[in-house]
Structure 1
């Protein structure tokens, strides 16, 4: 074969084909061979920054400064220099945090932050200041509602604390030690913590536990998820002689908002009531009642003519869901009750004689002890 024919039949068409193929790969990158799959360790790495979450939530978190009246101001020795110095020390403002949950100016904070305060000043993240008006509070839930009158307020976006899982990244935003708004980072260490036996007057509820640093002044601030959505109101830490940090608690946002709505509407907290007494299902009870698991709470008593009685529930029934949400144990059951409101109709899923049933009950307000039968 002559060189001229070889070039005409093979070399020139081949070169043109290579040039066309290269051009197509450059113009259409999806035709290229797929790259090696990302390793599992790389896929599980979190974001390098939570700035977007902070930028979303921080404008709704406020610093709270309160001043309490000194009950000794009318003491006979009030004009003595040493006494005036003592009074000055006592009148120093206390510090705390709060969360704007409504653009009309409603703020959630802790009861212990504002209890007994004569003056409450709020400083926003943008530097604006306002005097806050107390709307109401409840010491059992350690929650208080304030109201400020300022334009262009940013309300925090609320997340779903019921879906929070151990290991989820969380951020605590508040005013620790009065240094100004600060952010700490940690994870959800546990859910459904009942700490009512550690604090006098605390209503039993399912707290979120976190290892994000919570210091004096953080009380009433926001615990948010990695997207900046509110999961809870930071309220307390474990205290002890050798305590070095790492165990803090937050009131779940759904409970806090229910308390706020009650305070605004009724002037007090009105816990929902189904008219039952119940206990956690342990392995022995699960075997005795032929239950597939220990999830749920077993009804031990029914109040006559109460919502549960009128809905057909009986002692021995095992409640597994309320409005489709699982009741995994006694603490979750108490938390679920805390979010119910009188007049609300709920769907209750329960097990009786190994059969699953559903019924509806209209929640009522708990009557006084003498009214219960």
Structure 2
């Protein structure tokens, strides 16, 4: 067979193959093939399944946040405050300042939580809802220790948010930050939880609680007091602060955990002040050197370096050298985490403290007390009366009663410029009588002050000095 014939056969075969393929595609068009990566099967015992992990995964799984945003936006409001009404500037004109922030409706009858710094020193508070309705708000109470405030508008059937569980948050979980700044209406940004239990040293006072949720969701001025929610639309924090050098958002925002917010706003609603349960210890953050000295397995926990006499911790037998590693089953690896957990309880509450003592773990039950070293709940009335006069009081400890051989209440601080300071009274004065009536509890003294009028005479002693001392001041 010649070369020409071989070439003709090859070309004919090629053309036949091409025609066959074309005919097949015309008769049976190609189907879409989806290749799925196979994953090894996992088996679990339902009795041992970690429900919290399942719940977290489900709440963080969507990447379309529209449903959560639509549910939350109506409950986030703008708050405008007016300060200094009635003052005058150098030109004789009334000087009025204003501030703006956000708030979250937490009940359909008008209770709104926001930041204390949003409404601080305000004379008037105006609330604008997402649908443009405007209300004048009443201040219910504030808590500078957590930078929270509770206000209320006179309205019904308002949209409100469901509280979530900030303890269940995991680092890396998706969250939304929603605010209502004055000139932008509602703003929604997304990010992830960057850290928990953050302390950034922005609050003041000995009772401050800084255990923030850190996120990278963009939060700018005007969004303070707004909502931090999970992808189910549940409220898990109140946006409070950012770290910035420029005055604008730079990647760090911080929110008060909702489990702490829940307790604070309930106290403000019911009592007008926060019922702060005091453990009665002086504490240090655990360091690597301390952990080595104490033979601890990890650099975790809070070290007790002193116990207040007659405090809840003292009554329960806690001592210097104990390391607190948990409260009511919640691990407290750091000082902020411990403060957050304690901040959820009131005086009189019994809590289980997990400690390490001499290398051994044990549980101790502690009944928390208040700053006056009793288990009584404080009222706004008590705080207002003592604040107006200008001093703080507490009951004597058992050791002080034994040592001084008296009953009374002790002055622990005096406010500068107050009526009490003008009497030349000093801290440490033990009040034994008021208008010649014996006093042994703070509540007794406050109740008498509430009913009294005119001039008051306090009688008492100073430890280490002989004789009685007398201080008089007007109530009006």
Q: TM-score under structure 2 normalisation?
A: 0.63
Counterpart CA distance in 1 for 2:190 and 2:38 is 27
What secondary structure is seen at the aligned counterpart in 2 of 1:153?
A: coil
Aligned to 1:19: none
Q: Distance in 2 between matches of 1:218 and 1:68?
A: 19
Q: What SS class does the counterpart of residue 100 from structure 2 fall into?
A: strand
Runs of 5+ unmatched residues, structure 1:
1-33, 79-86
List per-residue Cα deviations over 1:249-284 (Å, max 9, x = no partner).
111112222222222233222321111122222222
- How big is the shift at 1:134? 0.8
Pair 1:350-2:355 in alignment? yes
Partners of 2:259 and 2:363 lie apart in 1 by: 24
What is residue 55 of structure 1 aligned with on the other side? 70
Which aligned segments of 4 or more residues in structure 1 are displaced greater than 6 angstroms? none
Task: Provide the C-alpha distance between the structure 1 equivalents of 2:132 and 2:38, rounded to a whole number of angstroms.
Answer: 45
Cross-structure match for 1:29: none
Check if 1:114 corresponds to 2:129.
Answer: no
1:95 aligns with 2:110: no
Match of 1:127 in 2: 132
**Structure exhibiting the larger radius of gyration computed from Cα positions:** 2
SS of residue paired to 2:259: helix
The counterpart of 2:306, out of the listed 301, 305, 321, is 301
Per-residue CA deviations over 1:230-251 (Å, capped at 9, x if unaligned) read 1211112113248652111111
Equivalence map 1:227-266=2 (5 Å): 227-241=232-246, 245-266=250-271
The answer (yes or no) to whether the contact 2:327–2:353 under 8 Å persists in 1 is yes
Mapping for residues 179-198 of structure 1, pairs under 5 Å: 179-196=184-201, 198=202
Query: For residues 77 and 107 of structure 2, what CA distance do their matches in structure 1 show?
Result: 13
Give the one of 131, 147, 150 matched to 2:152: 147
In the alignment of these two chains, the number of paired residues is 327
What residue number does 1:105 align with?
110
Give the one of 166, 169, 181 matched to 1:164.
169
Q: 2:331 pairs with 298, 307, 326, which one? A: 326
Change over 3 Å in CA distance of 1:286–1:236 after alignment to 2: same
- What SS class does the counterpart of residue 123 from structure 2 fall into? strand
Corresponding position of 2:344:
339
Q: Which piece of structure 1 moves more, 123-132 or 205-214?
A: 123-132
Pairing 1:256-295 to 2, within 5 Å after superposition:
256-295=261-300
Which structure has more RCO (C-alpha within 8 Å, separation ≥ 6)? 1
* SS of 1:272 mapped into structure 2: coil
> Secondary structure of the equivalent of 2:264?
helix
> Counterpart of 2:102 in 1: which secondary structure?
strand
* 2:211 aligns with one of 202, 206, 213: 206
Over the aligned positions, Cα root-mean-square deviation in angstroms equals: 2.8
Note if contact 1:62-1:123 (Cα within 8 Å) is conserved in structure 2: yes
Equivalent-residue separation in structure 2 for 1:371 and 1:140 (angstroms)? 26
Structure 2 CA distance for partners of 1:111 and 1:124, relative to 1, 3 Å: same
Q: Distance in 1 between matches of 2:149 and 2:65?
A: 29
> What do the CA deviations read for 1:12-37 (whole angstroms, capped 9, x no partner)?
xxxxxxxxxxxxxxxxxxxxxx9844
Deviates more, 1:240-249 or 1:101-110: 240-249
Aligned residue for 1:156, secondary structure, equals: coil
Alignment of 1:66 onto 2:81? yes
Give the TM-score normalised by structure 1: 0.79
